[in-house]
Structure 1
């Protein structure tokens, strides 16, 4: 009799499941206070359980939208997406927070986080250096990161995050200049000397203080030489010698292996 009851119960459960009328899964957070939701979400975040942490933070914001915990939850959601490697979601969360709370006492951190989100997109940004044609890459993330760090430095010069933002800006300036140099080299090796000179000149014009302009000037010099333009060639060499009197490129008569710029920072 007991076996028959169990079979009947199992059959009923399967039937209900097939009809889609089983009761929904119980929400373990139902009835939790704002402080408990936040505490539990933080624990999940610290443990690396980002999906669950985001779920808890979203429930906190939905159930207690007018408390201080809700604003903190919005910040934590952005950070959790960032740690999860979900760049679009993280950027959307950051932009939403800045729009909703432009005068929040911790909004400087959100500008900093926005810079970090773009800054840490290195895998796609600079993959061209070793594995991909540099002319096919667009370092938009680096430019976006630079702009976010710049906004932080200009709006919050006394922020705890500003010194690190400025250091990263210096790195990004050379990264962006180096991108132009790699593209210029690409054109030069293929005999597209006009394009090579123009791209190298762009690096020199836009990133005057970047170490990469040493090589950019050298590429300009060699490109003008290949095009039979002695005046422009000599002008480029004169500027190169004046700016970098101990240039390794001039000393070697060509390119020399140097420590990669991304390992110097």
Structure 2
């Protein structure tokens, strides 16, 4: 019954996605009115309607006085609607065309949020799946976005939140490195496991994953018969208790 309910939920989700993909023709109207209507939809949280109107403005008036703000609004509503690829494409276009825009700190912040969201999967959350061994590329991109924001705009309103998110992303990346080292250990690739552990400890010192990697490193040394190296590693484990 549980699986049947989940399948029904998935079917309903696909049906709703199909329905929402049908585009509504936006009638011709002055840009000021069209933008006002788009803002109303945005403020009401009607993301699909806001997207339709903003996309119409973007295509009909690409060089008008609303152009930059329309693109900024599209970045936001694409993100809120879960259209992450469209959000990233719009962000990258905006950065390319407006590299010195006054809201560039916000654009970088949204890029970080969007890349972070790509690492989150609804089904993983539903089944409480450990994602530590998943491809960390979106996480690396997000970390780079937030790092760039903090470096370029240290006094930005978004800088402190970006720093906190970098801390969480760092732990996520460290867990991926740990999962990889554990994979090598289970495959009896002792040297590869040791190298991965050492890389993790150098790149992400102070993380829980770095401490746990010492156990993998010690076991790999043991399997290689390197008693002195194993002893030194176990001494480090003693100095860094859980």
CA distance in structure 2 between the aligned counterparts of 1:40 and 1:133, rounded to whole angstroms: 41
Find 2:180's aligned residue among 164, 178, 183. Answer: 183
1:105-254 equivalences under 5 Å are 105-124=102-121, 131=129, 137-242=134-239, 244=240, 247-248=241-242
Give the aligned partner of residue 41 of structure 1: 38
The unaligned stretches of length 5 or more in structure 1 are: 1-25, 249-265
Partner SS state of residue 103, structure 1: coil
1:30-69 equivalences under 5 Å are 30-32=28-30, 34-69=31-66
CA distance in structure 2 between the aligned counterparts of 1:115 and 1:37, rounded to whole angstroms: 30
Find 1:76's aligned residue among 48, 73, 77. Answer: 73
Tell me the TM-score normalized by structure 1.
0.73
Higher mean C-alpha displacement, 215-224 vs 61-70: 61-70
Give the paired residue count.
Answer: 218
Give the aligned partner of residue 98 of structure 1: 95
Answer yes or no: is the 8 Å Cα contact 2:191–2:220 preserved in 1: yes
Tell me the TM-score normalized by structure 2.
0.80
CA distance in structure 1 between the aligned counterparts of 2:184 and 2:124, rounded to whole angstroms: 18
Higher mean C-alpha displacement, 192-201 vs 69-78: 192-201
Alpha carbons of structure 1 residues 228 and 74: separation in structure 2 relative to 1, 3 Å: same
Structure whose alpha-carbon radius of gyration is higher: 1
Deviation at 1:198, TM superposition (A): 2.1
Alpha carbons of structure 1 residues 27 and 91: separation in structure 2 relative to 1, 3 Å: closer
